[in-house]
Amino acid sequence: INLSELLNLDEIEDAATKVMSKKAWAYYYSASDDKISKLLNTQAYRSILLRPRIFVDCRACDLDMTILGHKVGLPLFVSPTAMARLGHSTGETGIAQGCRPFNALQIIANNSSVSPEDVVSGAAPTQVFGWQLYVQLNRKSSEDMLARVNRLDQIKFIVLTLDAPVSGKREDDERVNIQATSSGSISAQLFAGTDPSLTWSDTLKWLSRHTQKPVILKGIQTHEDALLATQYAPFIKAIVLSNHGGRSIDTAPPAVHTLLEIHKYCPSVFDQVEVWVDGGIRRGTDVIKALCLGAKCVGIGRPALWGLAAGGAEGVERTLQILSDEMKTCMRLLGARTVGELGPHHVRISICPGD
Ligand code: FNR
């Protein structure tokens, strides 16, 4: 694959689809039930309009920023996704290498196919990581993993995923595995050990005994839960508005709708925790819109996996390069020179639900 001929993230997905095994493709592509949330994730951004200002000197354009105080080169992060080696032999290490030129944040999944020690050991000293936790029925195994992760300085926080106490019904994944074997879908196998009994104070109390690192809650889908999360600040430092890429409960809202809900009902959340979003980001304009609406940074799940499958570390780098270039073009045409200048005045949201 000639990566330089791939001009946008959809073309990278198409190229990856052609070279991947059916099983790997199905695991990455799949979403729950009728994939309504997956579709809405991308459509939600398309229904928001930008409000470009003119006569702004836009020679300089800077994407540098900080995430929870850590310097990064892009307002983007790679969301945690299990099993990167299904798509490419370098797995999560390939993703880390692709992030390197941008000093982009990568969140390593609990179910990563490369150990966190190995992912971090090959990274540049300035690269920052998070580690995502699914609390296991076997608590001791989660405690042991946390002890290992606690020793890795470049892992700056723990991302606790809460939108998937059980797996959603992902039929593409089920179908290829019924045809191939009888061992069940990859999702079903991965979720077999996770604990569906978690609750706010018990689980967070337990977690606070096993890590000193800041904690981020991933999978917030309502303003009520965003507000509840702030009761646990500053132990909780950030929340990720996410519907798991449409892979958990179908017809859950896209993150951008939850973002708008928070603006409407409890805007104080933005002062107490950083609000991150993911799901459906396919263009630089999508990232910029989320930032305008108060997201501190924006995650990509599948786009990083498609990049990895299409070209290993270079494919991930190409994915980030395209998004970075598109973001800069968008900011220049919008009349904003730094991420900090972006605000709600740059978007028209009146046509969006929740407004
Ligand atoms: C995921 N996601 C996910 N999230 C998580 O917290 N732990 C995990 O192990 C996984 N695994 C996973 C595997 C695959 C193949 C996908 C596609 C997704 C969800 C992920 O972090 C993120 O929320 C979504 O992928 C964002 O949507 P987009 O960018 O894929 O549209």
Instruction: In whole angstroms, give the CA distance from residue 274 to residue 110.
Output: 22
Question: Which ligand 1 atom lies nearest to the CA of residue 245?
Answer: 27
Distant-in-sequence, close-in-space partners of 279: CB < 8 Å, separation ≥ 6: 37, 41, 242, 243, 244, 245, 246, 254, 255, 299, 301
Task: State whether the beta carbon of 281 lies less than 6 angstroms from ligand 1.
Answer: yes
Distant-in-sequence, close-in-space partners of 123: CB < 8 Å, separation ≥ 6: 96, 97, 99, 100, 129, 154
Name the residue of 79, 158, 297 to mutate for ligand 1: max ligand atoms within 8 A of Cβ. 79
Phi and psi at residue 275, to the nearest 5°: -110, 115
Instruction: In whole angstroms, give the CA distance from residue 121 to residue 162.
Output: 28
Instruction: In whole angstroms, give the CA distance from residue 234 to residue 215.
Output: 9
Instruction: In whole angstroms, give the CA distance from residue 262 to residue 277.
Output: 12
Task: State whether the beta carbon of 185 lies less than 6 angstroms from ligand 1.
Answer: no
**pLDDT score, position 117:** 98
Query: pLDDT tens for residues 319-329?
Result: 999 999 999 99
CB 70 within 8 A of CB 64: no
Atom 14, ligand 1: which residue's CA is nearest?
81
CB 218 within 8 A of CB 132: yes
Name the residue of 43, 106, 158, 247 to mutate for ligand 1: max ligand atoms within 8 A of Cβ. 247
Task: State whether the beta carbon of 244 lies less than 6 angstroms from ligand 1.
Answer: yes
Nearest residue to 235 via CA among 216, 218, 254: 216
199 CA → ligand 1 middle, Å: 22
Query: pLDDT tens for residues 200-218?
Result: 999 999 999 999 999 999 9
Task: State whether the beta carbon of 167 lies less than 6 angstroms from ligand 1.
Answer: no
Task: State whether the beta carbon of 29 lies less than 6 angstroms from ligand 1.
Answer: no
DSSP type of residue 303: H
**Per-residue pLDDT at 188 exceeds 90:** no
Task: State whether the beta carbon of 41 lies less than 6 angstroms from ligand 1.
Answer: yes
CB 36 within 8 A of CB 326: no
Whether this model's ipTM surpasses 0.90 comes out as: yes
Please report how the helices 9-19 and 302-334 are oriented relative to each other, as an axis angle in degrees rounded to 10: 170
Q: Identify whether 223 is a catalytic site residue.
A: no
Task: State whether the beta carbon of 252 lies less than 6 angstroms from ligand 1.
Answer: no
Catalytic residue among 29, 45, 88, 163: 163
Q: Identify whether 29 is a catalytic site residue.
A: no
78 CA → ligand 1 middle, Å: 9
Q: Identify whether 28 is a catalytic site residue.
A: no
Q: What is the reported pTM?
A: 0.97
Q: Which residue is it, tokens 């706010």?
A: 200
Query: pLDDT tens for residues 115-148?
Result: 999 999 999 999 999 999 999 999 999 999 999 9
- 227 three-state secondary structure: helix
State the average pLDDT over residues 344-350. Answer: 89
Give 136-154 as a DSSP string: BSSHHHHHHHHHHHHT-TT
